[in-house]
């Protein structure tokens, strides 16, 4: 087991670090991140409703990233001078999911019912209009350059 | 395959059997891996439903995404509008 001290060489506090725990955490995070890359992540469990079976389908977008670092240093020239070392790591991620369609399997056949996210579209329309208006206003305010020929 | 930066793959799930019909669910993944920063992006979306009957007939039912189409159309309109405004402004400056 390694000993890890803080970056301040004068500090007496030391904290034991279990490298296996850090590796395990990173491994778990990566496993969760990679689990998005399969069919089961997109399609839900089939729901039976009478003679029909409904399968929900969603789009999944996942981001993840992490980093680890370590360093050490010494202060002074003698053998009894302060030395220190440290290591750390961090990471993060996010999973976005949006319903796309519902697949209805009935005795008559299979049909796909798309799910329209009206709120998202309306927000996008307003954002587009706002951007266009702002750009038009800004361009109308700026004076055209004069060309001296 | 696992070490490649970009991976685009269509995956097919296990068969769901209902009476005399087999249904396979298909999804497409786009995976970006950044080895230097230890991370990546995975985009997974449903693509189609493959329906197979006992007679051997196969039918592929695509899964449309109207929300994405609308978003892409709006982005395109925004870009075209921006280009039009820039060209109008340039014409004004020239005249």
**pLDDT bracket for residue B1 (50, 70, 90):** very low
Tell if the CB–CB gap between A37 and B46 is shorter than 8 Å: no
- pLDDT tens digits along A30-84: 777 777 788 888 999 989 888 888 999 999 999 888 777 778 887 766 666 777 8
Q: What is the pLDDT of residue A12?
A: 45
**pLDDT bracket for residue A14 (50, 70, 90):** low
Distance CA A12, CA A3 (A): 12
Tell if the CB–CB gap between B38 and A46 is shorter than 8 Å: no
Residue A91 lies in a domain: yes
Tell if the CB–CB gap between B78 and A131 is shorter than 8 Å: yes
Between A102 and A10, the higher pLDDT residue: A102
The pair of structure tokens assigned to A22 is 């850090």
Residue A57 lies in a domain: yes
The pair of structure tokens assigned to A112 is 């796909």
Compute the mean pLDDT over every residue in chain A, rounded to the nearest whole number. 78
Above 60 in pLDDT, residue B75? yes
A-B contacts at Cβ under 8 angstroms = 148
**pLDDT bracket for residue B39 (50, 70, 90):** confident
Residue A147 lies in a domain: no
Shortest distance between the Cα of A15 and any Cα of chain B, in A, equals: 26
Spacing of C-alpha B8 from chain mean position: 10
Strand partners, A43: A57
Q: In this predicted complex, what is the ipTM?
A: 0.80
Percent share of chain B, pLDDT over 70: 95
Residue A21 lies in a domain: yes
Residue A80 lies in a domain: no
Please tell me the least confidently modeled range out of A43-47, A86-90, A109-113.
A86-90
The per-residue DSSP string of A114-149 comes to E---HHHHHHHHHHHHHHHHHHHHHHHHSPPPP---
Residue A94 lies in a domain: yes
SS (H, E, C) chain B: CCCCCEEEEEEECCCEEECCEEEEEEEEEEEEEECCCCEEEEEEEEEEEEEEECCCCEEEEECCCHHHHHHHHHHHHHHHHHHHHHHHHHHHHHC
Distance CA A101, CA A105 (A): 13
Q: How many domains does chain A have?
A: 1
Shortest distance between the Cα of A13 and any Cα of chain B, in A, equals: 31
- pLDDT tens digits along B14-30: 888 887 888 999 999 99
Residue ranges making up the domain that contains A47: 2-70+85-141
What residues in A contact B42, CB-CB < 8 Å? 33-34, 36-37, 60-62
Q: What is the pLDDT of residue A7?
A: 43
Residue A50 lies in a domain: yes
In three-state secondary structure terms, A80 is coil
Q: What is the pLDDT of residue B50?
A: 93
Percent share of chain A, pLDDT over 90: 26
Shortest distance between the Cα of A44 and any Cα of chain B, in A, equals: 11
pTM of the full structure? 0.71
Residue A112 lies in a domain: yes
Q: What is the pLDDT of residue A10?
A: 46
């Amino acid at each position: 087991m390694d000993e890890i001290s803080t970056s301040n060489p004068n500090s007496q506090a030391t904290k034991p670090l279990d490298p296996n725990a850090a590796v395990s955490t990173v491994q778990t995070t990566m496993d969760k991140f990679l689990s998005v890359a399969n069919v089961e992540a997109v399609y839900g469990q089939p729901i039976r409703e009478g003679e029909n079976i409904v399968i929900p389908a969603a789009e999944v977008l996942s981001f993840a990233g992490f980093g680890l670092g370590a360093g050490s240093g010494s202060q002074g020239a003698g053998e009894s001078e302060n030395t220190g070392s440290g290591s750390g790591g961090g990471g993060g991620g996010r999973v976005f999911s949006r319903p796309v369609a519902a697949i209805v399997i009935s005795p008559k056949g299979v049909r796909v019912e798309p799910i329209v996210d009206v709120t998202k579209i309306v927000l996008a329309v307003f954002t587009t209009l706002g951007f266009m208006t702002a750009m038009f206003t800004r361009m109308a305010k700026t004076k055209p350059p004069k060309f001296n020929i | 395959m696992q070490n490649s930066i970009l991976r685009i793959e269509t995956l097919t799930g296990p068969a769901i059997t209902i009476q005399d019909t087999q249904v396979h669910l298909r999804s497409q993944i786009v995976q970006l891996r950044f080895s230097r920063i230890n991370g990546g992006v995975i985009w997974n979306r449903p693509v189609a439903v493959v329906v197979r009957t006992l007679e051997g007939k196969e039918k592929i039912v695509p899964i449309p995404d109207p929300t994405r189409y609308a978003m892409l159309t709006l982005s395109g309109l925004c870009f075209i509008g921006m280009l039009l405004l820039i060209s109008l402004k340039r014409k004004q400056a020239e005249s």
